[in-house]
Every structure is written in structure tokens, then in C-alpha cells.
Amino acid sequence: MKCNEIISMVIGGFLCHPAIDAMIQDVGTASSIFGLPVIKKAFTIGESTKVFSYTESVIPIILAVIVLYFLEKGLKKIIPEILQIILVPGLSLIVMVPVALVVVGPVGIYVGYGIQWLYQALYSFSPLLGGTIVGGLWGVCVIFGAHRALLPIGLNDVAISGTNTLMCFAGSANFSQAGAALGVALKTKSVETKQVAGAGALSAFLVGVTEPAIYGCNLRLKKPMICAVIAGACGGAIMGIGNAVNTGFANNGILTIMSYYGEGTSFGRFVAYLIGIAVAFFGAAILTYIVGFDEVITEKGAAVKPGKSEGTGAEVSKSEADIKIGSPVEGRAVSLKETGDEVFSSEALGKGIAVIPAKGEIIAPEDGTLAVLYQPCTHLALSWITGRNF
């Protein structure tokens, strides 16, 4: 939010201070600050009563920081610059402490319960639908950072009931990203891509950190990301049908798997979680391997696919515009210096790349006619319909 980080931390620490927490939970005693009433509330949930606490939700602190941002912005407009370093932080803290306890904090608690109610309504309406949506789209939310806005739902769920379903469905998405990255690692012929995909798959599989898999290969290659979304939705649906829950708030990885089996859950629910992540992981890996993906020439050692010039491939500069030329053969791109040919390795005919073929098949990168053929068929030239030569 680009506001004072120290003041933000002080406000968060203030709301979570044991003395403040004890005051908030003492609903039988009226409290005030600067003559303003401190809002306290107890909710009845089923047969139990729940007193809200700022230590159980991040939403009040998030809202307080948002208000702090606009407060600081306003103060900087009216306070001379020479005095801002002293007055802005001090006045911000004086104003935000009562505002947090009287307005922002209670609103945040209500917002948290409202968000949780909406999610619970969706889950109650159809656990299968809830699991499908979250399991499929969680990885997409990670791309935009929107998943962080959903985490308070799980935190509030744990605070109220001791368990949550959100992280189960997110686990399906995480394992599907790991599986898709594994499928890329098994499918690709590029050493570099294989290393990136393998590392991403390991990170997501072990500790549920999916960013390396998403940004390193799945999103970049497009089709693996789609496969991960499909497999994650299927895994989430299975978890929804089996009513799988998480007994805490742990990230989703094989190392935290036992947090999904304990007090508040059952062995049957745990099995549903295991089946869900297995379907997500292996389903994404198999689907990615079968569907495949289009690889592009990036640098030495990268894999290339044959195709038309308008498709992906090496980029050759012509004037100020880039003309994309599809590779005529499937294989591994290497430097011209590795060809052993004096003419090409010296780049006497110009800069370029060489491809070590994976198949004995050469496809013209664009429609045209064979203009020159050198015997014994070591070199050839094509005249394209567009007028360019290759």
C-alpha cells in the first residue's frame, strides 16, 4: 500500500496484544478509548458461542492498513514537508488506534464472517461445486496474487470451527501444478526446460510452493496450465464429495499431509483428500504429457518444433521488424560453432543456429519452391511465396 511499514506493524501488534485481546473478549464489560465505545461482539454458531478476536483474522489489520494509507496521504497534503517525518507517523498512530478499535476492527470482523458465510453457503449448496471452482481456479488466482485475498476465508474457518475446506481444495490445485510441471519435465527435449520444470514440480510437490512451476513452465507453455486447471478441478470435486477438511492452516505439500488427518476429521475424509491430490497430480502429469505443448527456440540446448513461419520458432531480424521462422526440423538447438562446418561455424553466411535432429524428417517452414540443391544434398535453398529466401 506504500504507507509507513513501521506504523502498520505497530497497529497490527496493538490489535493482537494480549491486553487488548483480553479486553475485546470480555464482552460483559463496557470499554472505551478517548471517550469512544470499543466494539465487542459474541456470535452464536450452532450450539457454541464465539467471541471475536483480532488475533484470529487478518482482515481487520488489512482494512486498518488501507485506512492508514489514505490517512497518511491526506496528512502529507496539509503538513509541511519539513515536519512530515515527525508529525505524519505520530498523528497517524494517534488517529488509527481508536479508529481500529471502534470502526475498522469491528468492520473487518464482520467482513470476515461475511466472506466465510458466502463460502460456506457455496460449500453447503454443493461441496462438489465448491471443490471444482476452488481446485480449478486457485492456480489462476496465484498468477494475479488474488489467492492472498482468499486466505482469510480459511483462517476464519479455522477460528470458528477448528477446520477448513479451502486449503484442501487449494491443495488439489497445488498438486495439479506439480503434476503439470512433471509432465513438462518428462515430455520436453530441452535440458534447460527439463531442469526448470523438475525444480518447479519438486517445490510444489514437497511444500506447496507453486510459483516456480507456474511461472517457470506451466504458464509459459500455456497448455500445461490448462491441464493443471482441469486436473485440479477434478481433484477438488473428489475432495468436495468426500467432505475432506484441514485441521489447521498449513500449506499444501507432501510434507504437511498429516495436517489433513486429526481431531475434527475422519479417516474417510483423509482418504478423500489423498484421492483428490493423487487425481490432481497424476492427472495433470499424464494429461500434459499426452496433450503436449509448443516449445520455442530460446538459446543453446533449447528444444524446437517444426512449423510454419507464422508459428513459434527462431526470430531473424529483418530491418527493424522481427520475422518469425519456424524450425524445419524437430530437435535440439545448438550453436553454429558446434556443426564442424567451416563455412557455417565461422558465420560466413550470417548468424543463425543449428538443430540436431530428433527425427529424420524436414518440413519446409513456409510454402515455396526448391530453388537450389547442393549435392550430395548438404545444402538447399527455398524461394518462398512471400518473396523471402531460406
Read off the pLDDT of residues 125-181 as tens digits, 9 standing for 90 and up. Answer: 888 998 898 899 888 878 766 576 677 677 767 766 677 888 889 999 999 999 999
Residues 203, 156 share a domain: yes
pLDDT tens profile 355-385 = 878 777 777 777 777 666 655 555 666 666 5
> Per the domain annotation, does 372 fall within a domain?
no
Residues 78, 179 share a domain: no
**214-223, 250-259, 297-306: the lowest-pLDDT one:** 297-306
**Structural domains in the chain (count):** 3
Is the distance from CB of 170 to CB of 138 less than 8 angstroms? yes
> Per the domain annotation, does 386 fall within a domain?
no
Residues 104, 145 share a domain: no
Residues 131, 108 share a domain: no
pLDDT at res. 372: 60
What secondary structure letter does DSSP report for 315? E
Final residue in a domain of this structure, among 74, 95, 124? 124
Residues 263, 157 share a domain: yes
**How many CB atoms lie under 10 A from the CB of residue 247?**
20
Residues 336, 248 share a domain: no
Q: Which of 215-219, 226-230, 268-272, 314-318 has the highest mean pLDDT?
A: 226-230
> Per the domain annotation, does 60 fall within a domain?
yes
Residues 106, 22 share a domain: yes
> Per the domain annotation, does 373 fall within a domain?
no
Please give the model's pTM, rounded to 2 decimal places: 0.54
Residues 12, 98 share a domain: yes
Residues 186, 112 share a domain: no
Q: Sign of the CA dihedral 170, 172, 175, 180?
A: negative
Residue-number span of the structural domain to which 344 is assigned: 303-364
> Per the domain annotation, does 198 fall within a domain?
yes
Is pLDDT above 80 for 11? yes
Strands (E), the chain: 32-33, 36-37, 42-45, 48-51, 303-304, 314-318, 321-325, 331-334, 354-357, 368-374, 379-384
Residues 259, 148 share a domain: yes
> Per the domain annotation, does 257 fall within a domain?
yes
Residues 280, 146 share a domain: yes
Residues 143, 270 share a domain: yes
3-state class (DSSP) for residue 41: coil
